[in-house]
Amino acid sequence: MTASEEKFTRQTLLDVQPLTSSLFSLRITRDQGFRFRAGQFARLGVTRADGSVVWRAYSMVSAPHDDYLDFFSIVVPGGEFTSELSRLRQGDSLLIDRQAFGFLTLDRFVGGRDLWLLATGTGIAPFLSILQDFEVWERFERIKLVYSVREARELAYQPLIAGLEQRDYLAEYAGALQFIPIVTREQHPGALNGRITRLIENGELERVAGLALTPEHSRVMICGNPQMIDDTRALLKQRDMHLSLSRRPGQVAVENYW
């Protein structure tokens, strides 16, 4: 085994499911030695015809206790990774790093009563992993999952989200989770309209949630496009809510999703 081979394992593609014309889910086998905390990501590798490998980082959608790994991706027209991936079929091989990475995990926080999960696009992936893990339900009394997309058809994983509190191991926490969808480019029944930042600024997000964003009680995780993250962090900083660092625990944790 070479030094490079020691850094990854070869896994099998179990399933690829189109969710919309531009979004798909991906399921692969899981090496028994692969460990991760809910919210982390790993690099996936697809081998080109010339033998070179294209790598991309993806957050796990599946829970740490699952015996497979799920990922959520957008189709990038002409993109190296998704172009190669589109050629794969069930039973084909992919590579995955032996180690998981990332700090969008619950151990970023000290204390807190309410957890806000703010996602745009495929940035919802790590939050789905977190919500399928037991720890988050034990730690927080109220969980607000805020999912912003451009068009309503991009609201992926609706059955999974709706069914979370029906799972046997989460039944006692029924009512703790509120799902707040946002659609920015069209009106959609049951969804807010407008960017996350505007809905924080005008108070609409807190009104719908029935809950205030405060340094004392709120812990906020943000994942999505970098501009949204920067703008949201600036708004939260105005409320004395700061990025949580190892040397200085705070109220905010982030992950740029590209």
pLDDT at 4: 53
CA-to-CA distance for 225 and 99, rounded, in angstroms?
Answer: 24
- DSSP state, residue 141: S
With tokens 């085994």, the residue in question is: 1
The type of residue at 224 is G
Contact in structure between 78 and 54 (CB atoms under 8 Å) = no
Q: Which domains does the chain have, with CATH numbers?
A: 5-97 (2.40.30.10), 106-256 (3.40.50.80)
Residue 136 dihedral angles phi and psi, to the nearest 5°: -65, -35
pTM greater than 0.85: yes
pLDDT for residue 123: 96
- What is the C-alpha to C-alpha distance for residues 151 and 130, in angstroms, rounded to an integer? 25
Q: Which helix (H) or strand (E) holds 161?
A: helix 158-163
Q: Cα 113 from chain centroid?
A: 21
180 with 205: CB under 8 angstroms? Answer: yes
Calpha distance 82→89 (Å, rounded): 13
- Surface-to-core class of residue 28, CB atoms within 10 Å of its CB (0-12 exposed, 13-18 middle, 19+ buried): buried
The beta strands (E) that lie in the chain are given as: 8-18, 23-29, 41-47, 53-59, 68-74, 93-97, 114-120, 142-149, 177-183, 218-224, 252-256
With beta carbons less than 8 A apart as the criterion, state whether 54 and 38 touch.
no
Can you give the pLDDT at residue 1?
Answer: 46
Q: What's at 151, amino acid-wise?
A: E
Task: From first to last of the 258 residues of the chain, give the pLDDT tens digit.
Answer: 454 557 999 999 999 998 888 899 999 999 999 999 999 999 999 999 899 999 999 999 999 999 999 999 998 888 899 888 888 899 999 999 999 999 999 999 999 999 999 999 999 999 999 999 999 999 999 999 999 999 999 999 999 999 998 999 898 999 999 999 999 999 999 999 999 999 999 999 999 999 999 999 999 999 999 999 999 999 999 999 999 998 899 999 999 765
- State the pLDDT at residue 6: 77
- Per-residue model confidence (pLDDT) at position 5: 58
Looking at residue 77, what is its pLDDT?
A: 86
Spatial separation of the C-alpha atoms in residues 47 and 42, rounded to whole Å: 16
The rounded distance, in Å, linking the Cα atoms of 131 and 161 is: 9
Which value, in Å, is the radius of gyration of the alpha carbons in the chain? Answer: 18
Identify the bridge partners of residue 57 per DSSP, sorted by sequence position.
43
